[in-house]
Homo-oligomer: A and B are copies of this chain.
């Protein structure tokens, strides 16, 4: 005997570009959208009965229809409008998960002024995600998240790593001064009520998280990437009321002193080589409230489908 004990399906990399052309000034929303549906689809798998099966092509069409019919100014807002459409329209769906990766387009500056319709890409991406159940928990509200993906940071001072656990296979020297380099992937959970709040709040949250993340990275005297993660997350949940928790996944992108001694040259902590592999990775979730008995809301690896979805 064989049982289908779990299933889901959907569409990935639905690439949407929406231009808003108000008042001679264009706004660009460039999203890569991922949709995953769960519901009464067992017989599609087990009996070859396609009756309940919503084609993934229909999901794609729905993205463009909702984009054209909805006013939105944030990926969070669009994710919510889209998940609502799926839940409202298709009775066989129990849960819709929408993950969005947004390219960041910055206006080109011409003669000191931001151009009305020309843009250069900005480093890093903005993400949003919603888990929208037909009668989902959290007081009936869908779970809405924002995020930062792929923001690379580097500091050449203010980071050390000492006093760690040693065993017979530990060869890492302690250092009070090292290069700290990472790529921030973070996802934060909004308070339940935020899904119905004005969208400007999401833009504001993103900017504040970005500001806190980069500033804490720069100024925190770091005893470990773990401690820097907690410092970032603490300030986020303490200062941004609509964020309940934030998860980070941050690789430790090692830069190693090149051995110049063998050539009679003193390195003076100036010449390094970067490595891609192996790399450390640090995960953590920081919340305004203690953890509930159950699993943490997001999970501590922030490199989820929202990160992957940005392909």
List residues of A whose CB falls within 8 A of some B CB. 1-21, 26, 28, 30, 32, 36, 41, 44-58, 60-62, 64-65, 67-69, 89-90, 92, 105, 108, 110, 115, 117-124, 151-158, 161-172, 179, 214-215, 217-219, 223-224, 226-227, 229-230, 233-234, 237-238, 245, 247, 251-252, 255, 258, 260, 262-263, 265, 267, 269-291, 296-301, 305, 311
Binding site of A, secondary structure by majority: helix, strand, loop or mixed?
mixed
B residues in contact with A46, CB < 8 Å: 227, 230
Contact (A161, B55) CB under 8 Å given A278-B15, A280-B10 = yes
**Distance in Å: Cβ of A71 to nearest Cβ of chain B:** 11
Instruction: Determine whether the beta carbon of A274 is less than 8 Å from that of B15.
Output: yes
B residues in contact with A44, CB < 8 Å: 224, 226-227
Please give the count of copies of this chain that the complex contains: 4
Instruction: Determine whether the beta carbon of A273 is less than 8 Å from that of B3.
Output: no
Kindly report which residue of chain B lies nearest to residue A9, judged by CB atoms.
Answer: B282
A92, A251, A252, A258 — most chain B CB neighbours (10 Å)? A258
Contact (A265, B6) CB under 8 Å given A19-B270, A58-B167 = no
**Distance in Å: Cβ of A112 to nearest Cβ of chain B:** 11
